[in-house]
Chain A
Amino acid sequence: MPKCPCGSGSAFNACCEPFLNGAPAPSPEALMRSRFTAFVRGDLDHIERTHAKDVRDGFNRSAAESTANSVEWVSLEIIDAPARADGDDTGTVEFAARFRQNGDLMVHHERSNFRREDGRWAYVDGKMNPKGEPRRTEKVGRNEPCPCGSGKKYKKCCGA
């Protein structure tokens, strides 16, 4: 059995195939993976079916199909799929899908929002190229011990 296109390492029939055939995905990440696999296989039915109800009408199937067919999918990397509490009906998955278009290697980096509707996970929307938490730095007082561990005051050591 061939490996699943989503890159899980499992066989296709033990990974995304059941979801493409209509079985409910157990988590936002599983659904996300199956939607990537659907793009690789040109299975636009699965893409359309797994949209949340309120975004289904805004989906341009021909444009998605055109994109899916014009690129060569390379890999899927799940960057973050935060754990959810039981019964939580929303979830997010951050991923990077790499593909080749006109010979150029490109990356689609998105943090997607998912919602559970009638017991099935569905794709709601996504933020492209999401920014991480802003970086914070601790300020070291001049008279405090130097963070390098020398035991001297910061102003007598690295802060001099």
Chain B
Amino acid sequence: MERRFSCPTCGKCCYGQLPLSLDDALAHADRFPLVVMWTPVRQGGRSFDITAELGITIKLRKRRLAAVQITPCAYLPPSFACPELTEDGLCAIHAEKPQRCRTMPFSAYRDEKDQGDLLLPRPAWLCDVSPNAPVVYRDKGILAREAFDAEHAQLVRAATILKPYAEWLLDSVPSLGAELQKVAMKPSSGQVVVSFATLIPRLPKLDIYEFAEKQLPIMKALAEKTAGDPALADYHKRYADMAGEWERIARA
């Protein structure tokens, strides 16, 4: 079975939240509003195994388990374009763009065998999957695999930090476990957004003051941009809270 795909650079996938490897999150901390995103995947889901391998598992009711993906993430509402998307729909930082963008349409957060649905253009996306496009995926194997392998390597490396971080934060903040369980039990999957500041004690070489100076103006600007729109009230509150948090750290 062969699948074809070619990207016409329509820019439609450059909207909304963007998971980032830990390396990319730190490299682009002066660009993106960073959070740590916790996403439960229930047992039986196709990505359960790889998510448990790269993240952690939590217990649910009735002896069920959920795997939790823990990833740094650029936190943007679905209607917001990437801050580096230019007027003409191209990437302003193409040469240094995050690995997540380079690996598109594939994703190393999933098994290599489980990439098929990622090659289906979403509504209004202009991805070319016609017979004119080159074959990119054959018998559930990725043909040009450099980007996929590079992303996978980043995720494996980051897991050595993110897994112990996640276990430690779950112990420290009991309400986080309860919230994850609630989200995991919902029929529609959900996510729990955690401040990036919780991760910094686990990153020994990172200077928290410099990091706060980078994040503060980004969070402030987004808090302003989302103010007054009832549909974005949750985003607004989070940006305002995170701006307050970074400000307290930067000021100290």
Question: Interface on A for B, CB 8 Å cutoff?
Answer: 57-60, 62-64, 66-67, 69-70, 102, 127-129
Contacts and interface: CB of A to CB of B under 8 A. Distances in A.
Contacts, number: 38
Interface stretch (B73-81, B202-210, B219-227): B202-210
B252 A58 contact: no
Interface in B208-240: 208-209
A128 B201 contact: no
B172 to A, nearest CB: 4
Most buried by B among A63, A64, A70: A63
B252 A70 contact: yes
12 contacts: A58-B202, A59-B204, A60-B200, A60-B201, A60-B202, A60-B204, A60-B206, A67-B201, A70-B248, A70-B252, A102-B248, A128-B171
Interface of B: 168, 171-172, 174, 200-209, 248-249, 252
Given A66-B209, A128-B172, A129-B171, A60 B248 contact: no
A59 B200 CA distance: 10
Nearest to A127: B171
Nearest to A130: B171
B102 to A, nearest CB: 29
B201 to A, nearest CB: 4
Given A127-B171, A129-B172, A62 B248 contact: no
Nearest to B248: A70
Contacts of B208: 60, 62-63, 66
B108 to A, nearest CB: 26
Contacts of A129: 171-172, 174
B171 A66 contact: no
Given A60-B204, A66-B252, 13 more contacts: A57-B204, A58-B204, A60-B208, A62-B207, A62-B208, A62-B209, A63-B200, A63-B201, A63-B206, A66-B249, A127-B171, A128-B168, A129-B171
Contacts of B249: 66, 70
Contacts of A67: 201
Contacts of B209: 62, 66
B206 to A, nearest CB: 6
Contacts of B171: 127-129
Nearest to B203: A60
Contacts of B248: 70, 102
A70 B252 CA distance: 7
A1 to B, nearest CB: 29
Contacts of B205: 60
